[in-house]
Amino acid sequence: MGKTMSPIPSPVEFFGFKIGEDRKLADWDQIAEYYKLVAKNSDRVIVEELGKTSEGNPFIVAYISDPKNLSMLDYFRELSCRISNPREPLEEDELERLIKEARVVVVITNSIHATEVGGTQSSIELLYKLALSNEPDILNILENVIIILFPSFNPDGLKYVREWYYKYLNTEYEGTPPPYLYHRYAGHDNNRDAYMLNLVESRMFAEIAYKKWCPQIYIDHHQMGSYGARLFITPEMDPIYPDIDPLNWREAQFLGTYAATKLEYAGVSGVETYAPFTPDFASAFQTMAYFMNIIGILTESASVKIASPIYIHRHQLKGYNRGRYSDRPFANYPNPWKGGWWRLSDIIRQQTLSTLAILEAAARFREQLLRNSYIKAIRSIRRGLEEKPFAFIIPEDQHDRFAVYRLIKLLLDLGVRVHKAEEPIRVGNTIYTMNSYIVFTAQPRRALAKHLLERFIYPDYEATRDPQGKPLKPYDTATDSVAEFLGVDVIEINERFQCKTREISHIEIPDPKIEKSKGYIIDPRINESYKLVNILLKRGYPVYRVFERIKINDIELPAGSFYIEYEEKLFEIFKEAVYLTKIQPVNIDRDIDIPIKKVLPKRIGVYQRFYGGNMEEGWTRFVLEEFEFTYTQIRDQPIKNGELDKYVDIIIFPDDPLPYIIGENIEEEMSKRLKRPFKLPPYPPEYRSGIGSDGVDKLKKFVENGGEILTMGAAAELAIKGLKLPIKDLTEDITDPSQFMCPGCTLYAEVDTEHHLGFGMPQETYIFFWDRPVLEIIPNHYNENFKVVVQYPEQNILRSGWLIGEKLLSRKPALIEALVNKGRVYIYAFRPIFRAQTRGTSKLFFNSLYKYENL
């Protein structure tokens, strides 16, 4: 029985309203304060601030359990990891002892998508109940379970959403989502950062859930559209990833069905399982759990209008294109909701009931769940010993060795075990160098390591096609092959081998050595070299670029290397930048006798629209900031006024459908493209963006007068149609995925490394492509004004993912530089910085952001 130090106010008493009340939202600062107050006055709760969010708000976690358990947290954490993440099989007696002593660890996250407010609000009620209730079921949970509760995965977004919601309360715009991204960089994509860990919030979560605690269960609360089921709860539907232990799928079915049963008993209608979500990708946090042998439980509640109720007619309720096709009773949806008013309080009730049901099951079946967790881990180890591949070798000496370091650090942060060879590795007749990294698959996180490192071909079978045989697009990307995203070569080893190795716990990047010299060459193959250059440019240190290959003291460097002359008064600046980036300069003790040009930073603009914001625009800013590029956010007015040249030399349009950029007839145009009705929320007039047809004409003049436009992905349509370039998108008239489909894949591509955009790239690379565009330069009088920098090979184009209709891509350009009068247009017909993940093609983007004397 928990003993409180002083009375804990109820949520109503503290916040001044009942949680879930129509048109009421608790603010993050209040929520964090309440959590700390409860922890101060309850020995069942410990609250820890893990750090600050992207915008400087506190990111907190609550540990909730019986006071005796909380007094021994480190001990139980060690037990959890010995059971769930063992290094070798345990003796049966030792295993049983650990299971009897250990507690089931359950991690819970809420409202990573900030407009999905129900999770964070319901966590307040959950906290209060667990801190104070003496009901037998609650006491049993506290005795047998350690709950790690993240009240909000996105506190910044919660503050954005609440501020926006209250601003327009009691107006015609009440309940509309914010017109901008609800995370500074990622918006909705913050739940696509589970393995890349770009965001600070992701990294703080991963440190707890991936490394420190080795949980058995992970619950992630979300909301979905308003016109389907009232609540989805795991299990998901096919396809599944075959390397995940079958026991994990069975446990997810069991726990999800247990919760659905409790909901049905409580009279909650409209609950479904199996449709429409799939668990076949690792970029979302809940699906990532499966790859770590953690039972991942997803709930998706039907949304209201932020906190305002919504009325739904019965005939408006729909099914999906997979799993449940109508609003009739199905085995996975036996009790359809009949329509009417739907409220935030409904969401909070069903999420609270779901959570308590999972926690109840965790307590009741504690020993079985712990034993299962151990069995899954041991099976993973055995599969790595018995099944190919046995290991992945990652040589350190690669095109961009810093990309190797990034990959290894990422694997370590994900809890994957990595070794380093202390002698040359002989596999058959092949020898790999000493200091290569080795990821043995005989480890508990075998499925994760294999998924991220191997070439992955997305399954094409009954579960991924509709009854008519048409392909069903994956829920997210068709591959998570992060090594390919980073441009790192990984060798899959299908033979057993012996080698002296040591396990590493952190990445070791050699410190650079700097000696005074006549000058220095910086390798353009390394992404971080661009960060070094930008730091120097910002501090007034001149930087030059070498436009031909160069050889210095038997070191051969490609075209595009950076040259820095020694300057005594600026040398400390140079040393600071080198030590910060850890880039090793190449000393040069003679004059450069081949062409060099002075590097000048372009004034960079990034186009930013409303209508919910553009996630790729946020990621573009993230990458620019990470690599020290200075930029300006550009909205519509400077373009419409024809004043763009006052602010920027180059304007970037990240991947985005043209109707959103233009801002005219959006609903009509998007309905045509999506082949279903499309409606925008009723935004206030000042938040209805778009450059308009006049703005397109002004962009054309901007380029003709010497300005530059850069488009990524679908935004190519703006360059092609707006500037009337003789380029055609061959996917424009394709509506049948049986003809062409490439839903987030890595493709082989060839790079012109002598062109200034291709500087620092390998001649053959992987690029990330998602369905469109596929370009063709129409024969015209000025073909020479269109430079193809990247193009697809003739055949065998797919590296990882699912490609239908390869012939359409054969020998087509993927990156075009178009000369238009005095200006330039760069058309990236792929995603060079997709979600800040595709670092292997970052240089193709970075190179467009410099100008050079006389270029």
Which residues contact residue 216 at a Cβ distance below 8 angstroms, ignoring those fewer than 6 apart? 80, 84, 104, 105, 106, 294, 295, 362, 369, 370, 372, 373
367-399: per-residue pLDDT in tens?
999 999 999 999 999 999 999 999 999 999 999
Please tell me whether residues 130 and 68 are part of one structural domain: yes
**Boundary of a domain, candidates 335, 364, 380:** 380
Helix (H) or strand (E) holding 617: helix 615-626
The answer to whether residues 367 and 427 belong to one domain is no
Q: DSSP letters along 206-224, please?
A: HIIIIIIS--SEEEEEEEE
Residue with tokens 């079921």: 137
CA neighbor of 394 nearest in space, from 530, 504, 241, 512: 504
Q: Mean pLDDT, the chain, as a whole number?
A: 97
Same domain, 569 and 646: no
What tens digit of pLDDT does each residue of 616-637 get? 999 999 999 999 999 999 999 9
Task: Give the per-residue SS3 of 654-683.
Answer: CCCCHHHHHCCCHHHHHHHHHCCCCCCCCC
CATH number, position 645: 3.40.50
Task: Taking residues 479-496, report their average pLDDT.
Answer: 98
* Percentage, residues of the chain above pLDDT 90: 95
What is the DSSP secondary-structure string of 762-828? Answer: -SEEEEEEES---EEEPP-TTGGGEEEEEE--SS--EEEB--B-GGGTTT-EEEEEEEETTEEEEEE
CATH number, domain at 87? 3.40.630.10
What mean pLDDT is predicted for residues 527-541?
98
Distances (CA, A) of 541 to 520, 544, 748: 13, 10, 38
pLDDT of 672 strictly over 90: no
Do the domain assignments include residue 460? Answer: no
| Residue 466 is assigned to a structural domain of this protein | no
Q: Tell whether 151 and 65 lie within a shared domain.
A: yes
pLDDT at 705 over 50: yes
Residue 642 and residue 783 in one domain: yes
Q: Check residue 280 and give left, alpha or beta (phi > 0: left; psi -120 to 50: alpha).
A: alpha
Residue 6 carries which DSSP code? S
**pLDDT score at 1:** 45
> pTM for this structure?
0.97
- Where a domain ends, among 380, 403, 425? 380
Q: Please indicate, yes or no, if residue 806 is contained in any of the structural domains.
A: no
Numbers of helices and strands, H then E, in the chain: 25, 37
Contact (CB, 8 A) for 144 and 222: no
Q: Does residue 477 form part of some domain?
A: no
Does residue 636 lie within any of the structural domains?
yes
Structure tokens at 850: 């410099």
Rounded to an integer, the average pLDDT of 715-722 is 96
**pLDDT, tens digit, 9 for 90 and up, residues 115-171:** 999 999 999 999 999 999 999 999 999 999 999 999 999 999 999 999 999 999 999
Place of tokens 């080198």: 578
177: pLDDT confidence band, cut at 50, 70 and 90?
Answer: very high
750-785 per-position pLDDT tens digit: 999 999 999 999 999 999 999 999 999 999 999 999
In a domain? residue 459: no
Q: How many domains does the chain have?
A: 4
Q: Are residues 25 and 126 in the same domain?
A: yes
Both 678 and 639 in one domain: the answer is yes
> For residue 802, which of 455, 460, 482, 447 has the smallest C-alpha distance?
460
pLDDT value at residue 599: 98
Q: Would you say residue 2 has pLDDT above 60? A: no
Burial of 838 (0-12, 13-18, 19+ CB in 10 A): buried
Domain limits for position 703 = 602-733+773-790+812-852
Residue 323's pLDDT is: 86
Q: Angle at which helices 401-413 and 527-538 pack, to 10 degrees?
A: 100
- Do 420 and 569 share a structural domain? no
pLDDT at 592: 85
Angle at 313 between CA 125 and CA 324, to 5 degrees: 80
Q: Are residues 21 and 145 in the same domain?
A: yes
Q: What percent of the chain has pLDDT over 70?
A: 99
Q: Residue 298: which residues within 8 A CB-CB, separation 6 or more? A: 220, 222, 232, 233, 234, 236, 277, 286
Quick check: 321 pLDDT over 90?
no
pLDDT at residue 706 above 90?
Answer: yes
Residues 183 and 264 in one domain: yes
SS3 of 473, please? coil
Which of 563, 581, 600 is the endpoint of a domain? 600
Q: Does the pLDDT of residue 443 top 90, yes or no?
A: yes
When pLDDT is averaged across residues 177-196 and rounded to a whole number, the result is: 98
pLDDT of 855: 52
Residue 134, domain member (yes or no): yes
Same domain, 397 and 373: no
Decide if 575 is inside a domain: yes
Please check the confidence at residue 408 and state whether its pLDDT lies above 60. yes
Same domain, 71 and 58: yes
Strands (E), 127-236: 145-150, 217-224, 231-233
Question: Quick one: pLDDT at residue 590?
Answer: 85
